[in-house]
A and B are shown apart, each in its own frame.
Chain A
């Protein structure tokens, strides 16, 4: 059996990330996150920064880098033969264990960005590194795809097999894993998404939320470190949306799986550790949900929703009421209004 035990080999790629001067800002943002937003920082793992003696402006972060996108652009030619700049000079770093939401309207480049994370697309300029592996190096393609799983928007068009458990087995089978180990992984993955009782069902008879959970299980069975979800709830009803989001959150919290969640549902982005806002192929902003959602007007101009409490608070402030900034939840608005 041609088994590729990539896990072991990759350990050398991981570990401390060298960060140059241009990254200083990012670090200071991380620190800010820790000091100014205590409640949130306590949810995420602490980020330590140590001074590096080699160079005056270089740091090493003790948090492992999952995906590093640096000055990345993506250009393709449309049907008329014109070049389209889908992504322009994007810098994003995703750390291990994080839950990052990428938001933006249709055509903002958020899905194009995500497709770079597991080599479905390659940068025209700049680099994308996954666990230190450059996606442009053909030798790493399959390693990267095993470490970074992807769940797509349409639940129907990513399920290969006509029986649930056989579909979940598809990924590990492609990796050349031993049959008994595949069996174990499939059972485990189905359990992790609460779909064990559907193992022998036909996927087309399941609900949208259930199908997406099967797709997630299919990725989990490959034992990834990171899951990219490309608008996984866009075609689901509220119940299905909740099923998927709850599953993803649990995997993030309990299994420590890094999550990159692309969505235009604000209430889903609100549970992330960090939000990246995309517009016209450019990374517009990056910050905690609080930092992003308190900019009610900016987001609305972008064509994005904001939590209703943030919108109401911002409107009250505009009308001369003295409310503190940064209110995004109903409870917080209650706190300041009902003293």
Chain B
């Protein structure tokens, strides 16, 4: 069911990771993603895997979330892997007509797939352990220096907050409209891609109308609650850098340095 999608969902908790400042977490995630792409050897992948597992353990999130975060994107992972497996030239392991699999291809494919998996798991960890508001707060703060170049930091953050708030609501709504149209004989699951796309109209039109209506009502409600943009706004939870953040950042930088050393100096 649609409501099983957990991407962008927050799981409240009191772990070390939960307590970190969102700015630190965003930066840490960005650094780690770069670090992932430094990895080339099995040993460095082991380091990344080990670090991801430790982080997950520290976050005290249920392990099934790892699978839940990968599941919606598995097609992309398989696709990426496939492209590398079949297109990389090298020692041919298997061949059928123009199709071939090379040893290098398998290596490259597995590596790319592993990178994607770690990337997804690690960035999901960010959204799982950070309340959407704190996350957007963090983004807003990190983008603030770029305001002078015309980056609408506050507006972007507010848009994200609202998007995150309404994702579950719109998913529920999608489910409901699908059922209503199925009750009128609509078929969303069979037929060619073109046909299926056409069959989506009875779902998409009501969904868009509803989204616009919600947006409209929400805008009025926000106005009624004295919302007038980011000027002079305060926050209940101010972002404070604490010991957790120093330790967390130190760990990330440590791992990154280790990976750099493993890549260029070993």
Contacts and interface: CB of A to CB of B under 8 A. Distances in A.
Interface stretch (B42-50, B100-108, B233-241): B233-241
A183 B10 contact: no
A82 B165 CA distance: 37
A183 B225 contact: no
A161 B162 CA distance: 7
Interface in A149-187: 149-150, 152, 154, 156-163, 165-166, 169-179, 182-183, 186
B225 A218 contact: yes
A158 B217 contact: yes
Contact of A169 (B217, B221, B236): B236
A120 B165 contact: no
Contacts of B231: 2
A301 to B, nearest CB: 32
B248 interface: no
Given A175-B226, A176-B233, A162 B221 contact: no
Residue of B132, B221, B224, B231 ringed by the most chain A CB atoms within 10 A: B224
A170 B131 contact: no
Given A1-B234, A162-B165, A170 B225 contact: yes
B234 A177 contact: yes
A118 B220 CA distance: 11
A163 B224 contact: no
Contacts of B237: 166, 169, 179
Residue of A150, A183, A204, A222 ringed by the most chain B CB atoms within 10 A: A204
Contacts of B235: 169, 173, 179, 182
A165 to B, nearest CB: 8
A145 B224 contact: yes
B99 to A, nearest CB: 47
B88 interface: no
A154 B165 contact: no
Nearest to B226: A174
A120 B131 CA distance: 31
B162 A160 contact: yes
A202 B224 contact: no
A186 B236 contact: yes
A170 B230 CA distance: 12
Interface string A37-75: 000000000000000000000000000000000000000
Given A157-B217, A163-B10, A170 B224 contact: no
Contact of B131 (A156, A162, A174): A162
Contacts of A2: 231-232
Given A146-B226, A171-B226, A174-B226, A160 B218 contact: yes
A327 interface: no
A251 B227 CA distance: 24
A323 interface: no
Contacts of B234: 1, 172-173, 176-179, 182
A265 interface: no
B165 A159 contact: yes
A95 interface: no
Interface in B233-263: 233-238
A166 B232 contact: no
B161 to A, nearest CB: 6
A162 B226 contact: no
Given A154-B217, A160-B162, A166 B226 contact: no
Contacts of A202: 10, 168
A244 to B, nearest CB: 16
A64 B237 CA distance: 37
A200 interface: yes
Nearest to A176: B232
Contact of A204 (B162, B168, B227): B168
B217 A160 contact: no
A177 to B, nearest CB: 6
A200 B11 CA distance: 10
A156 to B, nearest CB: 5
27 contacts: A2-B231, A142-B228, A145-B224, A149-B224, A150-B221, A157-B218, A161-B165, A162-B161, A166-B131, A166-B237, A169-B236, A169-B237, A170-B222, A173-B235, A174-B226, A174-B227, A174-B228, A176-B232, A177-B234, A182-B234, A182-B235, A202-B10, A202-B168, A204-B165, A204-B172, A219-B225, A222-B226
Query: Nearest 10 pairs between A and B by C-beta?
Result: A2-B232, A158-B221, A157-B217, A169-B236, A182-B236, A174-B226, A171-B225, A150-B224, A204-B168, A176-B232
Given A120-B220, A176-B232, 5 more contacts: A2-B232, A154-B217, A160-B222, A171-B226, A175-B226
